[in-house]
Chain A
Amino acid sequence: AQSVTQLDSQVPVFEEAPVELRCNYSSSVSVYLFWYVQYPNQGLQLLLKYLSGSTLVKGINGFEAEFNKSQTSFHLRKPSVHISDTAEYFCAVSEFGITGGGNKLTFGTGTQLKVEL
């Protein structure tokens, strides 16, 4: 069974500083990986996804993530954060080639990014 670990429940950072949100996954097969962002009392918005090809994936709002198969990681980074980036970020994984089971996503427990002045 697949699983996702987001070790940092909260990450405080000053505005214009760089940030990295960590995500590690476990799966016995190849995976697709996703990062979603959630603003207070709203649904999830897709930030970026890794399906195949280049291991460095660029998303919206200046975020990027790097897939590292040997370390089973998919960390999210931004070189300079803004106050408006304050939100909760979720990493998710789905297994490649699963049939008959839909596209079941397994989510991490989320990381609250708090950007301070």
Chain B
Amino acid sequence: DGGITQSPKYLFRKEGQNVTLSCEQNLNHDAMYWYRQDPGQGLRLIYYSQIVNDFQKGDIAEGYSVSREKKESFPLTVTSAQKNPTAFYLCASSIRTGPQETQYFGPGTRLLVL
């Protein structure tokens, strides 16, 4: 059954703690993305990766880090430098067919600060 999985569904972070959100896809997609969703603000791009071992900052990368060691995995670490981490985090992947791509999304992880 192909798709994008994110874990955990809910994650709690203590002050000063780094936490890592998992994103895995078995769609053989080349590109992967991380978005943050806050109420009334839509989705904002944190990081994206077009190929293994390469990634670029999005619009709100400060306080976050990523890695892309395998094609199917793109974990996001929320560091202690991110002062307002409470949000819904969505992972997406896409494959390029000619000049266009379509992004498909995982079910999301909700991060809450204790």
B36 nearest CB across to chain A (Å) = 11
Is A41 at the interface (CB under 8 A from chain B)?
Answer: yes
Is A63 at the interface (CB under 8 A from chain B)?
Answer: no
- Say yes or no: B107 contacts A46, CB within 8 Å: no
- Say yes or no: B43 contacts A46, CB within 8 Å: no
Q: Pick the contact of A44 from B40, B41, B90 — CB < 8 Å?
A: B90
- Say yes or no: B100 contacts A42, CB within 8 Å: no
* Interface 0/1 of A41-82, CB less than 8 Å to B: 111111001010000000000000000000000000000000
* Interface 0/1 of B77-98, CB less than 8 Å to A: 0000000000000101010100
Q: Pick the contact of A103 from B94, B106, B110 — CB < 8 Å?
A: B94
A90-B43, A96-B99, A108-B42 given; A43·B31 CB < 8 A: no
Interface size grouping (class) on chain B: 20 to 34
- Say yes or no: B99 contacts A97, CB within 8 Å: yes
A101's closest neighbor in chain B, by CB? B56
Residues in B whose Cβ lies below 8 Å from that of A103: 31, 94, 96, 100-101, 103
Main secondary structure of the interface of B (DSSP, over half): strand
- Say yes or no: B48 contacts A104, CB within 8 Å: yes
A43's closest neighbor in chain B, by CB? B105
Give the CA-CA distance A75 to B45 in the complex, in Å. 24
- Say yes or no: B41 contacts A109, CB within 8 Å: yes
Give the CA-CA distance A102 to B96 in the complex, in Å. 9
Give the CA-CA distance A42 to B50 in the complex, in Å. 25
A102-B31, A102-B56, A104-B48 given; A45·B40 CB < 8 A: no
A32-B100, A41-B108 given; A102·B42 CB < 8 A: no
Give the CA-CA distance A107 to B45 in the complex, in Å. 10
Residues in A whose Cβ lies below 8 Å from that of B31: 102-103
Q: Please name 20 pairs of A and B residues whose Cβ atoms are closer than 8 Å in the assembled complex, sorted by A.
A: A9-B40, A41-B108, A41-B110, A42-B108, A43-B4, A43-B6, A43-B90, A45-B105, A46-B102, A49-B102, A97-B99, A101-B56, A102-B48, A103-B31, A103-B94, A103-B100, A104-B58, A105-B45, A105-B103, A109-B42
Q: Lowest 8 CB-CB distances: which A-B pairs, in order?
A: A103-B101, A43-B105, A107-B42, A44-B105, A109-B42, A107-B43, A43-B107, A43-B108
